[in-house]
Structure 1
Amino acid sequence: MSKQTNAAQVGVICAIAAYSMWGVAPVYFKQLIVLPAAEILMHRVIWSALLLIGLIAALKQWPKVIAAINNKRVMQILFVAGLLLGANWLLFIWAINNDHILDASLGYYINPLINIFLGRLFLGERLRTLQRVAVGLAVVGVAVLVFSYGHVPWIALVLAGSFSVYGLLRKQVAVDSLPGLFIETLMLSPFAIVYWIFFGSQYSNLFNNDTSLNLLILAAGIVTTAPLLCFTAAARRIMYSTLGFFQYIGPTLMFILAVYLYGEPLEEARLVTFGFVWFALLLFSADSLVNYRQQRKMRKLAVE
């Protein structure tokens, strides 16, 4: 087996691991339901920042961190990106612990389609025919919920929109994911510490908690960074277009958990919405696959 083939196999395993961990994250956050969502976010920020210090030191990425800190534009973008990421995390945690996992699942299904739309809007990327159809189907799916229930599925749209804008901002700066996440969490840390001191619940004093709860709280850092490390490892070993095909593992696992483990109601209108979005993603994936094969064929012809 060649080194390239072996690296690709490791990349696929890492991609499956990353998206699977993101997909089963609701199980972890459900264990912390006694804590307010903002307090869970506070712990996620603080323990992630501490864990990332060790990881960056072990992986010798301090030069990348220092280079980013010395660039004013990069720091401004990372600060806004960090605020968006924090807001996304907060809403995600709140949605899980208030029985809206299906909405969270829908949001992360919609996410790649919003990425296409934002790419067209801000980066001037041209939409291929099937991509336009896919976005249109997703809009129709959301409209079904609006007309059926009389309200916009805001949780799904805010989760998808905030994460898409976060990704758009991160594309504007040449900072690797690990140093970038460290700087973002570092800038969120003062807010987290202020919350801990002045607004923390009875569980904010770790000395008052039992060992099992404290272990769950401390695990917030691992829950945040472990999938990111796997994702980064996958991105280095397989093509980014290939990586994209694994992104539906996360929301699919959330969907299964919501319906079969936590018993969230799946009304007919909501199922129709998911159907439209799933069909849109099927078209999107088919278009991406065809485009990937065409580009690979053109590269081979160019080499020859």
Structure 2
Amino acid sequence: MRETVKGFWALISVCLIWGLSGIYYKLLASVPPLEVLAHRTVWSVVFFAVVLAFQGQLGALVTALRNPRQAAALALAAVLISINWFGFIWAVQNGHAMEASLGYYIFPLVAVALGMIFLRERMGRLQTLAVLIVTCAVLWLTWSLGKAPWIALTLAATFGLYGLIKKGIDLPPAVSVCAEVVLLAPFALALLIAEHFGWGFAPHSGSFGGDWTMSALLVFSGVMTGGPLMLFSYAAQRVRLATVGVMLYLNPTLQFLVAVIAFGEPLTHAYLVAFPLIWGALALYSFASLRGAAQAR
């Protein structure tokens, strides 16, 4: 099998895992989102430590964290991705999975806007039109719902800013993500220990260790976090960037279908108008990206 084909199937696997991850977090609905996030952080450290040890890159991790400027950038990235993770987990557990999918639909166009503002990247006419259409969709939702879609906007903004910061961090993906979760791990461990011993919480209020099925699911959060990122890194090295960009829309599409079909979330009139507008904007954006990639060849 050619490397490009392997990369394509790795990318499909990533989109399937991310797109269906809402089902996994719904299974953890009895565990508070902050506790789920803490476990996800701690077990991600374990997962990446094993991967880096196998690759012989633990030294690169230590070097990255010893660089004050790089460590500061990694810490900011870690805070942003934690807000993003927490927002998605909270949304799934509280019946807002559809709005979460909206956030990941909006994200690519938020990334384009951030690139224009902070990196002085130029947008083509179709890309500008796509951003304007998404802006209209968000304004329509705000007017129809009587409030802004804060979950979607938070997920799109935090993931966009995370990508912007990561653009300036020159580290292998596994080392970079491991450094982020290592920086967060002390806070996550402090929360879990406090819950276990009742420091500021009800005694033994933590979910880990009480039910073995739930405990196994919490441990598996490390694999759920690290596994797709490793697959994505593998795919990104073998598949054209334009293909990666288009294929990643499979993720929010699956999240949307899970919200409607599996979770039974209502598809209101406001969303029936907003989603087609956003899908149309993404079609324009994808067309412009593919055309630009073809002209650059």
Shorter-chain TM-score above 0.5: yes
> Secondary structure, in 3 states, of the residue corresponding to 2:237?
helix
Q: 2:76 aligns with which of 70, 76, 80?
A: 80
TM-score under structure 1 length normalisation: 0.93
Q: Does structure 2 retain, via aligned residues, the 8 Å contact 1:241–1:292?
A: yes
Distance 1:261 1:205, change over 3 A: closer
Query: Which residue is 2:288 aligned to?
Result: 287
Q: Aligned ranges for residues 173-212 of structure 1 at < 5 Å?
A: 173-199=169-195, 202=204, 204=206, 206-207=208-209, 209-212=210-213
The answer (yes or no) to whether the contact 1:11–1:234 under 8 Å persists in 2 is: yes
Of the candidates 110, 114, 124, which is equivalent to residue 114 of structure 1? 110
Deviations 1:186-229 (A, max 9, x none): 0001110111122467452633x122111111111011111111
Cα distance in 1 for partners of 2:14, 2:255 equals: 14
CA RMSD, aligned part only?
A: 1.3
Query: 1:98 maps to what in 2?
Result: 94
Aligned to 2:37: 41
Q: Give the aligned residue type for 1:117.
A: A
Task: Determine the C-alpha separation between the residues in 2 that align with 1:295 and 1:154.
Answer: 37
Partner of 1:55: 51
Match of 2:214 in 1: 213
User: Within 5 A, what are the aligned runs for 1:108-257?
Assistant: 108-199=104-195, 202=204, 204=206, 206-207=208-209, 209-257=210-258
Distance 1:135 1:37 in 2: 32
Q: Which amino acid is 1:102 matched to? A: M
Deviation string for 1:153-179 (max 9, x for gaps)? 000000000000000000011012110
Deviates more, 1:155-164 or 1:214-223: 214-223
Q: Distance in 2 between matches of 1:285 and 1:83?
A: 30
For 1:45 and 1:159, how far apart are their aligned partners in 2?
Answer: 18
Between the aligned partners of 1:264 and 1:155, the Cα distance in structure 2 is 15
**Shift, 1:20, TM fit:** 1.1
Q: Which residue of 2 aligns with 1:32?
A: 28
Equivalent residue for 1:302?
A: none
Aligned-residue offset at 1:243: 1.0
Question: Is the 8 Å Cα contact of residues 142 and 149 (structure 2) preserved in structure 1?
Answer: yes
| 1:88-120 superposed Cα distances (whole Å, 9 cap, x missing partner) | 111110000001000110000000000000000
The number of residues matched between the two structures is: 291
| Pairwise CA distance, 1:32 | 0.7
Q: What is residue 199 of structure 2 aligned with on the other side? A: none
Cross-structure match for 2:17: 21
Letter in 1 for 2:109: L
Aligned AA (2:193): I
- Mapped partners of 2:132, 2:116: distance in 1: 14
Cα distance, 1:279 vs. partner? 0.3
Which moved further from structure 2: 172-181 or 120-129? 172-181
Question: How big is each residue's C-alpha offset from its partner over 1:213-262, in whole Å with a ceiling of 9 and x where there is no partner?
Answer: 11111111011111111101101111222211111011000010111111
For 2:194 and 2:212, the matched residues in 1 are separated by 24
Is the CA contact (8 Å cut-off) linking 2:207 and 2:215 kept in structure 1?
Answer: no
**Counterpart-to-counterpart distance in 2, 1:46 and 1:67:** 21
Query: What secondary structure sits across from 1:219 in the alignment?
Result: helix
Give the match's secondary structure for 1:237: coil
Query: 8 Å contact 1:35–1:203 — kept in the other structure?
Result: no
Compute the TM-score of the two structures, normalised by the length of structure 2.
0.95
Give 5+ residue unaligned stretches, structure 2.
Answer: 197-201
5+ long unaligned stretches in structure 1: 297-304
